[in-house]
A and B are shown apart, each in its own frame.
Chain A
Amino acid sequence: QVQLRESGPGLVKTSETLSLTCGVSGYSISSGYCWGWVRQPPGKGLEWIGDICQSGTTYYSPSLKSRVTISADTSKNHFSLRLSSVTAADTAVYYCSRLLRYFAYFPPAEYFQHWGRGTLVTVSS
């Protein structure tokens, strides 16, 4: 059974870089699928941040693309999120997820199969 677990600082200073890691167990991230991040600001809905696929291809939300980097370390079976120049608007619960992206037919399949429990990151000066 695939399990994902987020880890990282719960408090980040304004203008600095938010860094989170997602540890994966039960599946090797080098074997397939895409691995990504979703966040939920307090009192708001879910927002896709981006993901990295086994092929190395990355997908980023257009609204966050200039500040986001997602990378994977297959030797440690984990993947990471870096979000630069954070502000209070980046305060959120951050979830990591395994995505299926399948483009052989239309419509393509692009969705979140497994999720972590999330970690709250607060941005404050």
Chain B
Amino acid sequence: QSVLTQPPSVSGAPGQRVTISCTGSSSNIGAGYDVYWYQHLPGTAPKLLLYGNSNRPSGVPDRFSGTKSGTSASLAITGLQAEDEAYYYCQSYDTSLSGSLVFGGGTKLTVL
């Protein structure tokens, strides 16, 4: 059971917009800690997608955006492309149990 909760799967057609939620609690996102997002294709290195809730590293398209509110965060992908099909993970910091970097369980995005 992951500390951050994500839907196991989402899907969308090419060109559409999808969102992936990441729900935490008062000991992580709700305590003010930032959320980070990673994209992962199995067999490859995970890739940092967003940092500080909504900031894109160099090279990440502006089709990817992030928001945070209360105890939750969301990743939005617009203009869906076949190459976006991957697993997406959120990550934050949790103050319980002496502090820890925590991940969501991951969401499989399928491009129909």
> B47 contacts the other chain (Cβ, under 8 Å)?
yes
> B97 contacts the other chain (Cβ, under 8 Å)?
yes
Task: Given A95-B46, A109-B51, A111-B51, check contact A46 B34 (CB 8 Å).
Answer: no
Q: Nearest-CB distance from B30 to chain A (Å)? A: 12
Within 8 A of B (CB), among A70-125: 95, 106-118
A111–B44 touching, CB < 8 Å: no
Interface-central residue, A46, A112, A114, A117, by most chain B CB under 10 Å: A46
> A62 contacts the other chain (Cβ, under 8 Å)?
yes
Point out the residues of chain B lying under 8 angstroms from A45, CB to CB.
2, 89, 103-106
Q: Nearest-CB distance from A110 to chain B (Å)? A: 5
Q: Nearest-CB distance from B7 to chain A (Å)? A: 13
B2–A117 touching, CB < 8 Å: no
Report which of B91, B93, B97, B99 forms a contact with A112, defined as CB distance below 8 A: B91
> B112 contacts the other chain (Cβ, under 8 Å)?
no
A48–B89 touching, CB < 8 Å: no
Question: In the complex, A45 Cα to B89 Cα: how many Å?
Answer: 8
Q: How many residues of A contact B (CB 8 A)?
A: 23
Point out the residues of chain A lying under 8 angstroms from B45, CB to CB.
4, 95, 114-118
- A–B complex contacts, Cβ < 8 Å, 8 sampled: A46-B89, A48-B102, A62-B99, A63-B100, A110-B93, A111-B48, A114-B48, A115-B46
The 6 closest A-B pairs by CB, nearest first: A45-B105, A48-B101, A115-B45, A111-B36, A46-B103, A62-B97
Q: Which residues of B contact A (CB under 8 A)?
A: 2, 32-34, 36, 38, 43-48, 51-52, 57, 89, 91, 93, 97-106
Given contacts A107-B32, A112-B46, 17 further A-B contacts (CB under 8 A): A45-B103, A48-B102, A61-B100, A61-B101, A62-B100, A63-B100, A95-B45, A95-B46, A106-B32, A107-B34, A107-B93, A111-B101, A112-B38, A112-B48, A113-B48, A115-B45, A115-B47
